[in-house]
Amino acid sequence: MTIFDLAGKLCSWAELVPANNESAGKKYLTLISKCVRYLKPFLVQIANAIVKSNKHTELRNKYLKLKKRRRHKKAIIAICCRLLVSNYQVLQKQENYNHLL
């Protein structure tokens, strides 16, 4: 995991964050690209399973809060990014997963 010095860079590499296109003060609409072929669908499946499950209430509650303001797909992508960041932290610190952090 030394390739990515920050968890945000890993999320950007996995293309879970939208690009920032701005020119001459105008912001252009950007979408999340579909380049990472296996990682993003895998994370989306995990996020959908977690949202439907009652075992991970903190992620489910975060999803429900996000879904009020955004659509289902955007909320799922936010949960995917959160999962990727938590996995990054576990691998970086080489310790067990703690859902309270």
How far is residue 78's CA from residue 75's CA, in Å, rounded to a whole number? 5
Cα 81 → chain centroid: 1
User: What domain range includes position 30?
Assistant: 7-93
Residue 99 lies in a domain: no
Query: What's the whole-number average pLDDT of the chain?
Result: 83
pLDDT digit string, tens, across residues 54-75:
888 889 999 999 999 999 999 9
Confidence of residue 36 (pLDDT cuts 50, 70, 90): low
Residue 83 lies in a domain: yes
**Given 3-state DSSP classes, what are the helix, strand and coil percentages for the chain, each rounded to the nearest 5?**
55, 5, 40
- Point out which residues pair with 26 in neighbouring strands: 23
Residue 42 lies in a domain: yes
pLDDT digit string, tens, across residues 85-100:
888 888 888 888 776 6
Residue 70 lies in a domain: yes
| Mean pLDDT score, 71-88 | 90
Domain count, the chain: 1
